[in-house]
Every structure is written in structure tokens, then in C-alpha cells.
Amino acid sequence: MGIAHKMAKKQREISIAEFFEKNKQILGFDSLTKAMVVSVKEAVDNSLDACEEARILPDIFVKIESVGKDEYRITVEDNGPGIVRKNIPLVFGKLLYGSRFHAIRQSRGQQGIGISAVVLYGQLTTGKPARIISKIREEEVAYEIILSIDTKKNAPRVIKESPIIWNRDEGTHVEVTIRGRYTRGKQSVLEYLQQTAIVNPHAQITFIEPDGRKIIFKRATDTLPQPTREIKPHPYGIELGQLVNMVRSTRTYRLTSFLTTEFSRVSPKIAEEICKKAYLYGDMRPQELTIHEAKRLMEAFSKVKLMAPPTDCLSPIGENLIKKGLKNVLGSLRPGFYAKPITREPKVYGGNPFIVEVGLVYGGELPKDQPVRILRFANRVPLLYQQGACVITKAISSVDWRRYGLEQRGGEGIPVGPAIILVHVASTRVPFTSEAKEAIADVPEIREEIELALKSLGRQLKMFMIKKERKNKLSEKFFLVTKLLPEIARKSAEIVEKPIPPLEPVISKIMNVVWIDEDMEKIGKDEVKIKVNVTNFIPKELKFTLYGDYPVGSLLETDGSPGEDYVKWDVKIKPLERKVFYFRLGDAGGYTETNYYVDGINPSVVVGAEPLPGDWNIRLETMEEILEEEENEEEEVVEDIEEMEDVGDE
Amino acid sequence: MGIAHKMAKKQREISIAEFFEKNKQILGFDSLTKAMVVSVKEAVDNSLDACEEARILPDIFVKIESVGKDEYRITVEDNGPGIVRKNIPLVFGKLLYGSRFHAIRQSRGQQGIGISAVVLYGQLTTGKPARIISKIREEEVAYEIILSIDTKKNAPRVIKESPIIWNRDEGTHVEVTIRGRYTRGKQSVLEYLQQTAIVNPHAQITFIEPDGRKIIFKRATDTLPQPTREIKPHPYGIELGQLVNMVRSTRTYRLTSFLTTEFSRVSPKIAEEICKKAYLYGDMRPQELTIHEAKRLMEAFSKVKLMAPPTDCLSPIGENLIKKGLKNVLGSLRPGFYAKPITREPKVYGGNPFIVEVGLVYGGELPKDQPVRILRFANRVPLLYQQGACVITKAISSVDWRRYGLEQRGGEGIPVGPAIILVHVASTRVPFTSEAKEAIADVPEIREEIELALKSLGRQLKMFMIKKERKNKLSEKFFLVTKLLPEIARKSAEIVEKPIPPLEPVISKIMNVVWIDEDMEKIGKDEVKIKVNVTNFIPKELKFTLYGDYPVGSLLETDGSPGEDYVKWDVKIKPLERKVFYFRLGDAGGYTETNYYVDGINPSVVVGAEPLPGDWNIRLETMEEILEEEENEEEEVVEDIEEMEDVGDE
């Protein structure tokens, strides 16, 4: 027998279950500690998805028990809608079976692999089958099913199936025994649940550790996230092969109606336009499109202006939860600066809408001499492993952070400094690098969005640093002018035996600023009183508006006009006059500093507040210019003083 | 209808082809440039595997043609054994179909996904089918098959099939049109082919770029790598589930014969021992094993001493090719130091044998202020992407390179410095993190092996640095003693008006070393003549043996006794005598420095050579001690000189 025939004898089909049995690392089971986290994660992600889809506030119970050396039983139970009896074996005992694969909508599970992979891993490492109990509202009883997976066939093998009485109206209970290792600390089940609880504050999670300790992550809000609506694919970025599949299976009879019904954001008018640009008749049957015509259609897609995809298929974390997530990670450490989280506009890659959100804290008590800490989330799920493989890390590494004041060797790589960066990518289809869903692939569109968002944070950071530097510099000048100048004048006057000249005009001439700063006073445990000092060092009366921001919902009292997240004061102030305003905040434990904004005044003469409103780019440029000017002016101050001394000499 | 029923209606099976169509990034198709490299790689890897299996010297032809905007036709043709006609559609048109999945043996392809994934990607992005021609030796004609993939069924859809005349005895020709982008430079098709050619010098690869440029990577040897033999699984690290599958399908009738025939390294005696330790009868039917008994068997595996798995299933790159690979990457840059490549003993993870090999070059003209460059290989295939996700990178990052003289912030992360590190992992099953086979998962056993190998390189590196430092220091001392001392003596003698005292005894007392160094002289283009200078600064006659190493096969002439890769001299030398030896090397373009070794003399009195033989650990400790001693001695030298001056004063 020839070699080709010999080789042919060995060629055969491989079942997907066999494939993963031999490549369990692809599912994330490459070490015992990781296997534990992955198993809990897949079950909890499923529970959250099911509850949210059924619009039920999730109540999730997680228990890990030690049942032998390196052997643990993991139980996850939820109050979700349950699974109909005949589908239970398939959901848990067949890889590549699920409900969310074909839906274009943000959800945690998408692949139809996760939970059945856990069952597979359990049986591979402990030989034990999985136990599932599920009850749906319509039925009187629950069903208990004990099953394993026939890996050669990738099919469930039901060992026992029986109706049982269960004290729940609806819900699902999964028990899998796996080989694993339980740890606390970094990259642990605890960290996963903690971060999950933060970005899913509508869920209550009860966790019982192997030693019996019970940890409850309490529900922080009774409001479910907005339901994510299933959408049609968006024409931008769709692949030709996808389009071909779509025209093959469409039930529409006209190309134009194919375009309007099977795509999002294509109106009849736009459909006509697309057909025209593709040199195709709008009333042709879509099924008759040739490859060449499909290609022309694709090209026409890129030539028409389409609205961005609808965003109600996505569920961003939002500014408040991002801040809260960062605060939680900080623990008792106080940062110097919270950047305002950025939520970018939704974009599209390969027909899939996605949104990028980022947050940053900097300075204060954060460790200085370490790479910045990175928190990654995808569709509200924390990503704990494979940081190096993730587009988030790649985007962070490719931004030149030196421009924004962080240390970074050669302007690339993870920057070093006292900072934490949080990035969330939400999409109807997160392009994970593998079935383990640990890292997001380096898709150029996503990378670009993350980079833009990060640069926006970077500008805020730089702004903070410039402001700090400016304030420090001006503080020196302030000290020089208001403390030393009178002293020099007195001394000079004494020497030349003349009266001390009036200094106020000189001082305000030199300073020529409005000075704004604040004094913060802690009252009790969580309350702060903030006094806002405004001094006019400009030799004329001024009228302008001053704004101070604060966290939504924390304002207790003020002498200004309160807005949703700011206080407004109308300021009228004479030369060398000093005015004091105030506001009081409750629940302000982590409050560090107010941002002040001014309107109705040339912002370059104001110290301690920024122009309102404006985008960060312009503001940053303005601030950089001001800083530069001031540096030039420093010499002038010296000249001014010398000049004054000359006056004294006369 | 209740929510659970609504959800059930959406639950359905997903074909693996559909899955990858929507998750093409998992296959490595996450950008246009990458898609190009991945496509060529999958085809070439298959060709190399097929040729090697058929023991044919591979002759591979690769052509990339631009056929539209971002559209390229890729052609790969080999002189392999061909594929029998009826299997062609399955090999190219069905994911998870292949011959190497069930075999325990090192090969490039293992998953049965690669080439069909390329066909899938091509059809998804360009709508074009693949064209395959294959001929096997036994048939008169070749067959041409044009096919696409029915993604809903994961099955080939043959568009045309016809016998054709082909001017080859045997071979396979694949043509796929994909959306991609062609680049040169880093992470390109060119880099992949280049590195592939280096570690597969038995292959001839002809490459035609889109602009028509033809590049030939010539065959450098006519010897095929040793054939890799298929082996049985090794008991260490096998999973319980695997064992259960094995006992279910075995055809043996006794547990002992099951163990001896289905596992490697289990002799009848060891099989008896395992059964005894598992409290099982050796003559029981393996099919009757319960889960608990199987578990006991597993535990017994870990209690018996087994030989490491046979290594003839693996094919390491070897020391010479590692050096050559590094040299090739260096281009015209000259490094200061080539570490001796390390090939570790084979080890086992999860029943799969693997071998780790590493190499390192350092210093010289390599760029200093950058992270070290990492070259990764798995089963002789260069890994160009996902460096951050790879256990190789993680192992490099977790070694504290500061100990070995490289800069590294906090003792972790990729070190910075003028170095290139090459790591090759060869295994019967490389645990890739995803189907794209771009990174190796963080499997603890593999990581540990890499770390040990790297530390071994690290010690060599440190050794080199210590030697360099020692030489620099002693050079100073040498200069001081042989040049300044006579000068001082002359001057002192002049002042006190006395004759210059005899200095030789003082000099040899202070130096008390044998000094060995070399002068290198280039002759013509590629030839060098090396003069070895030996000076005895010890006040007695010495007899010892001196060895100098050189690259195998390059020696032209010497006055010593030539060995395979070293020259040996028997040295007999009087106090203050200087002897000069020599050797001449051909084909020594990159030659920088000889390593010298001494035997039959206390190595601590020798400068410029190391003790022979010895392991690096002991050598390193010795060297560190010597260095420390010498630092202490420095003060003594000063004292010696002062003493001598006193003599002069008398």
C-alpha cells in the first residue's frame, strides 16, 4: 500500500468534544487554579444572562466544596427562568449548542460552549457526571438530570432523569465536580465574583467558600440594566461570505426589501441608493445575486452614509459604575485624581456594533514604581487571565503615555506609575481570542477606539498635572508677592528713610489673576464642608459665573444655585476683595477635590478654575499655552520687583 | 408562552464551521496582514508534515498574487505523497478532520482545522472556492477539485471534480483566494518562511511575492530529521477521563496487558507493581474497572518509578540550528557572546512528552535600550503572533534576570538589554491557547522546564559578564604592575640614588596568575588566525593542559592537538615566560571569541580560561568567589606597592 493510502486510512473526523478533551487549555483549563475560576465563571455568566433575558433580578448562589485531594464540587443555583426539560441534556451535554449564538445582542455567553465545557472538564478529570435541576414556571415539578458527555459523538449521555419537588418557582441548579485548586487573592473565584458584583449591581451573589465562609455581595440596585434588544447586522464591515449566506436564505423577493429588512439602519431610500451605486435593479430577486454583484453591493455599502448601529443592543457599564469599580479596587488607598470616565460612541467591526468605555485613577497613595494596573471587562464580565494577549493591553501599550505624564520606556509597553486603568468593551459579538473568553483579539477597529478613549483620559491626566504644576508655581509667586514684597518695601523704605509706598496697585499689577482655591473640612464620618475662596488680584471690579462639580446625589447644602452635579455661583468682586462660598456633601468618603469652571471671564487670568464649557483638546491646548506664557512672565515678575526697588531707591 | 419556552425555541446546534465563520479571530484571522501569514503558514505546515511523514525531502512552492483590492490568491504546492481522491474534499472542506489528531507524535498540524479554516476564511471574505490538485504515486492522473464549505453542515461542497494530467509524480497544489494584505518586515510571510527555512534546513522553499520577486530558501542539508515515531500515552499526567475512555475501548482482557500494551514505559513487572499499589487484581478485565478503581490506578501511576517517555516521538531543533537561527536574526550585527544552547531532558505534561530547547546571544552590537527580542518556536514552526499570551514569554518574564546581569524592573517582565532569546517547545501535543496556534498555554510543567532552561542560560550569561569584569579588572592590575611599577622603581631609585632593585620576584608575587589571552587576525574574507598568549606570572614552573573551543568543522591548522570542536595544548612554562600557540579557522565570518579551559592547575590562578570540566553552577560559584577574593586582594596590591616603596626608601 502506498504512503498516501496509508495516510488516508488514518484520516477521520474529530468530534468537537474529543477536540476539547485533548485541548482543554483552549477552554481555559490549563491549570488547577484557573480551572476553578473558569468553571464558576461559565455557570454564573449563564445565570446572569438567563435572569436578565427573563427580566428577573438575579439571585445567585455559588458554593464550592472540597471532596477529595484537588477535587471540588461546584454548585451554582439561580432564580432564572429555568430550562425546558427536553433541552437540558443538550444545553449541558453538547458543545456548540445554545440560544445566543445567532442573536445579535450583547450577552455574556455567545458560543454555546461554556457550561458544557465545564461538564466535559469535570468528567475528564474526576470521572463524575454533572447534576442539573431546573424548573420552569409553567410546570408543577422540577427535573433532576444526571448526565455526562459522549465525547466521540459530542452528545449528552443521560444517566438519570426524574421529576422532583423543588422549593423554587423557577430556576436552575448545576453541580459539577472538577479537579481544581481553590485560592483567594489575585485571579481567584473571589476576585471574579467581586468584580462581577460591581459591574452587575442588580445581582445578589451569595458565595460559600470551601471552608464554609459565607460572603454575600449584596444587590445595590433594584433596577435591571436596560434590556438589550436583538438587532439585524449593520452593513458596515459585513463579510462577503456572510452577505452571500444572507441572500441565499432570505425570504424577501426584492433586493431593496432584503436590504431594509435584514439589515439595521437601511431605510427604503438608502436601499435604493445602495442598489443604484451597485448598478443593480432594486426589484431583482436577492437569491439571484452573483458573487460579483454581491461584491458590488458590498462596495456600495461603503459608499453610502449610514447611521451608527442602534445602541439598545448594547449595555455599557456607565460612568458611575466605572468609578465605583475603580474605587473598590483601590480599597483604602486614596488616589490623587479621578479622571472622568469616557464612554465612546458605538462603532462597528465586521458588522458588529461595539462600545468602548474607559476610566482612570492616578496618584495619591497608589504605588508609584510599578506598571499601571489594568482592569479589563467584556460585556460586563471581568477578564482575569491572558492580559498580555488582549487588545486592551495592546492598546494601552501602544499609546505614548510619556506625553500624558506617565513613565514609559521608549514610549511603548505598559506604562509605569501610580495609576489604574479600567477598560470595558461591550459588543454584540466580542471577538475573543479563544473559546476560553479570556482576551479580546487585536481587531483594528476595537483597538483604535480603545486608543482614542485612552488618549482622552491621558489628556485629562496631563491637564491634572499641568493644573497642579501651575498651582504650585503660582503659589510661589503668590507667596513672593503678598508676603515678600511688603517686607522688601518696608526694608527699602527704612533704608532710604521714606514712607512705604502703596503696594496694592503693584501687587495686583504683578499678580493680575483671580485666585480660586478651596478648604475642605471633614464633618463626621462621611460628610465634608467645602469653602471656596475667591480673591480678585485684578485692578478692576469683575463679574463672572463660577461652577463647582460634585458626585451626583451627594449635595446637602450650598449658598450657590445647585444643579444636578454642580453648584453655580454668580460672582461680583472688587479689586483685592476676597469672597468665600461654600457647599456641603454627604456620603463623600472618597471625595478629594472639586473641579471649578468659570464663564464670562477671560480664563487665562483665572487660577484654580477652567473655562466652561469646551472639549478637553481645546482646554489642554489653552492650558499649555497659559503655562508657557506664565513661564515667560516669570522673568517679568523679577523685572517688576526690580523696578519697584528702583522706585524705592529714588 | 412562558419565557423558558420562548428561550428554548432559540436553542439550537451550531456547526463548527458556523462557529468559526463568526469567530474567525480564534483561527488567527483578526487582521488583513495576519490573515495572509496564517493562510500561508497552514498550507506550508501541512506540506512539511506530509513530506516528512512520507520521508520525502520537501520542495515547496509558495506564490502570492494580487487579484483585487485587498484580495490575494495564495498558491502552495509540494512534492509530498498527495492525498487520495475521495479524502480531498474532507481534508480541505471539513473542519475537524485529519490524520494527526489521534497520533501521539510530534507534528506541525494536529487539530484537523488549519487548512480547511483557510478555505473557510477565503470563501467568507472573497466568496471564492478553493482549487486543489493532488496526485498520488499509484495513479496515472491527478485530480483537480474545486470546492467550498457548506458552513451550516460543516461539509465540503464540491463544485467541480475532474482528472487532469499533471507533470508531477506525486504532490499537492492548493489555491485559495483571501482578503488580506501583503507586507514585508516583521510578522510577515517572509519572516515566517525565513524562520521556517532555518529550523527546517532539509526543505527547499521557493517564494514568489506579489510583485513577482522570487526568493529561494535553499535546502541546506539532504538529511531529513529523524522520523518521529508514534508512541502510546505515558502514565504520568494522564487524566482520569482519558483512562476511562481507554479502558472502555481496549481490546485487551487483562488489566496488566492493558497497562503494558496501551501505555509507554510500562513493563510487565511495572504493570504488576501498579496493580498491587492500586489494590487491583492484574488479571481482572479492564472493561470492568469502576471510576473508583480507575482513580486508584491513577494514584498508583504516581507511586511507581517510570522511565521518561521515549524521545523518538520528538524532533528537537538541536544546538547547531538554534545557533544558526540566532545568527540569521542578528543579520550583520555582531553579538559579544553566544551562550551554549540548552536542550533539556524530555518531560511529560498530561501524558504528553515534550522537550524544551533554548538559546541566547548577548551584547556586542545588539541594541541596548530595548526589551530583549524573543524568538518562539513550537514543533519547528515559528510563532510570530500573540507573544504576550505565550508561556514562553511568561517564563522569560518570571525569571529574575537582574541576577544574570540584565536590566529588569522589579525583577519581573521582559528584561531590557542587548539580547535575543530563542525558545523551542517540541511536543506530541503542543497546548496552544487557541486554534490559531499562535501561543502556547501556561501549562505549569512546560513553564517550569522553560524557566530552568533559561536560568541555565542566565548562569552562562552571568559567567560571561563576570569573566569580562574580571578580565577588565585584572587588565588594570596588569597594567599597573607591569608598566607603572618599573617606572616607580626607576624614579625611586633615582631619588635615593641607589640601583633599581630586581622587580621580577615582586611582580610575580603581586600578580600570581597565569595570564591567557588571544589576538585574532583576519585573513581574507572568512578566515581567521588566532594566537593564544600564555604568560606565567607565578614564581614557579607550571605544567597544565589548555583547551580552546571553536565551531565544528572550521579548523584549518593548529600547533596543538585538534579535537572535534577544540584544540588541546600541553603547556609547560617557566616563571615570567610567555608562550604563544595558534590555530586557524575557515568559514569563520561571525567568529568573535574563543572559550579557553584549563586542566591540571588551580583554576583560581588562571586568568582568561575556566576550569574543565564542570557544570555551570559550580563554575559560576567558583567564579563569583574568585571575583570577590580579588576585590579583597586589591588593597593588598596597594600595600605591596607601598611596601616596595619602603624598600626603595631604605
Spell out the alpha helix ranges (H) of A164-238. 189-199
Residue A639: pLDDT band with limits 50, 70, 90: low
Residue in chain A closest to B444 (alpha carbons) equals: A31
Q: What are phi and psi of B137, to 5 degrees?
A: -55, -35
Q: Which of A14, A373, A392 is most worth mutating to test chain B (most B CB atoms within 10 A of its CB)? A: A14
Domain covering A16-217, topology: Heat Shock Protein 90 (3.30.565)
How large is the average pLDDT for residues B308-331?
83
Instruction: Return all residues near A542 (Cβ < 8 A) that are at least 6 apart.
Output: A514, A536, A571, A572, A573, A601
Model confidence over B275-288: pLDDT tens digits? 999 999 999 999 99
Spell out the alpha helix ranges (H) of A102-156. 114-126
A477: amino acid identity, one letter: K
- Rounded-to-integer distance, Cα A316 and Cα A453, Å: 14
Domain A240-303 grouped into CATH 1.10.8.50? yes
- Rounded-to-integer distance, Cα B192 and Cα B176, Å: 18
Residue B510: pLDDT band with limits 50, 70, 90: confident
Share of chain B above pLDDT 70, in %: 93
Q: Angle formed by the axes of helices B291-303 and B268-277, to 10°?
A: 120
Q: Which of A470, A450, A447 is nearest to A458 (CA)?
A: A450
Helix (H, G, I), strand (E, B) or coil at A238: coil
Sequence ranges of the domains in chain B: 16-217, 240-303, 319-464, 476-646
Higher pLDDT, B485 or B240: B240
Pairing, β B514-523 against β B606-607? parallel
Which residues of chain B are within 8 Å of residue A97 when distances are taken between CB atoms?
11-14
Q: Is the pLDDT of residue B272 over 80?
A: yes
Domain covering B319-464, topology: Ribosomal Protein S5; domain 2 (3.30.230)
B158 within 8 A of B129, measured Cβ to Cβ: no
For residue A215, give the C-alpha cell.
Answer: 460572603
Q: Nearest Cβ partner of B125 from A136, A239, A444?
A: A239
Considering the four listed CATH numbers 3.30.1130.10, 3.30.230.10, 3.40.50.150, 3.40.50.2000, the one that applies to the domain covering A319-463 is 3.30.230.10
What DSSP character marks residue A232?
Answer: P
Instruction: Return all residues near A382 (Cβ < 8 A) that are at least 6 apart.
Output: A191, A192, A195, A196, A199, A375, A376
Model confidence over A123-132: pLDDT tens digits? 999 999 999 9
Model confidence over A51-98: pLDDT tens digits? 999 999 999 999 999 999 899 999 999 999 999 999 999 999 999 988
B292 within 8 A of B205, measured Cβ to Cβ: no
- Rounded-to-integer distance, Cα A121 and Cα B237, Å: 15
**Dihedral sign of CA atoms B255, B256, B258, B259 in order:** positive
Considering the four listed CATH numbers 3.40.1530.20, 3.40.50.720, 3.90.420.10, 2.60.40.290, the one that applies to the domain covering B476-646 is 2.60.40.290
Q: Is the pLDDT of residue B264 over 50?
A: yes
Residue B475: pLDDT band with limits 50, 70, 90: confident
Q: Nearest Cβ partner of B8 from A3, A84, A111?
A: A84
Angle (CA) A16 A18 A23, round 5°: 90
Q: Report the side by side order of strands in the sheet with B561-562.
A: B561-562, B566-573, B542-549, B596-599, B610-611
Contact state of B90 with A413 under an 8 Å Cβ cutoff: no
Share of chain B above pLDDT 90, in %: 50
Q: Is the pLDDT of residue A521 over 90?
A: no
- Rounded-to-integer distance, Cα B470 and Cα A581, Å: 70
From B543's Cα to the closest Cα of chain A, the distance in A is 53
Q: Nearest Cβ partner of A30 from B90, B128, B443?
A: B443
Q: Is the pLDDT of residue B647 over 60?
A: no
Which residues of chain B are within 8 Å of residue A394 when distances are taken between CB atoms?
388
For residue A385, give the C-alpha cell.
Answer: 487571565
Contact state of A83 with B13 under an 8 Å Cβ cutoff: no
Q: Is the pLDDT of residue A269 over 80?
A: yes
pTM as predicted: 0.81
From B158's Cα to the closest Cα of chain A, the distance in A is 17
For residue B435, give the C-alpha cell.
Answer: 486554534
From B269's Cα to the closest Cα of chain A, the distance in A is 27
Span A486-646 CATH architecture: Sandwich (2.60)
- Predicted complex ipTM: 0.80
B647: amino acid identity, one letter: V
- Rounded-to-integer distance, Cα A453 and Cα A449, Å: 6
- For residue B631, how many other CB atoms are within 10 A of its CB? 10
B587 within 8 A of B526, measured Cβ to Cβ: yes
CA-atom Rg of chain B in angstroms = 32
From A144's Cα to the closest Cα of chain B, the distance in A is 16
Model confidence over A185-215: pLDDT tens digits? 889 999 999 999 988 989 999 999 999 999 9
How large is the average pLDDT for residues B61-82?
96
With 0-12 / 13-18 / 19 or more C-beta atoms within 10 angstroms meaning exposed / middle / buried, residue A192 is buried
Model confidence over A571-628: pLDDT tens digits? 999 988 889 999 998 876 667 678 888 888 887 788 888 777 554 445 555 555 655 6
- Rounded-to-integer distance, Cα A566 and Cα A365, Å: 27
- Rounded-to-integer distance, Cα A8 and Cα B146, Å: 20
H/E stretch holding A17 reads helix A16-22
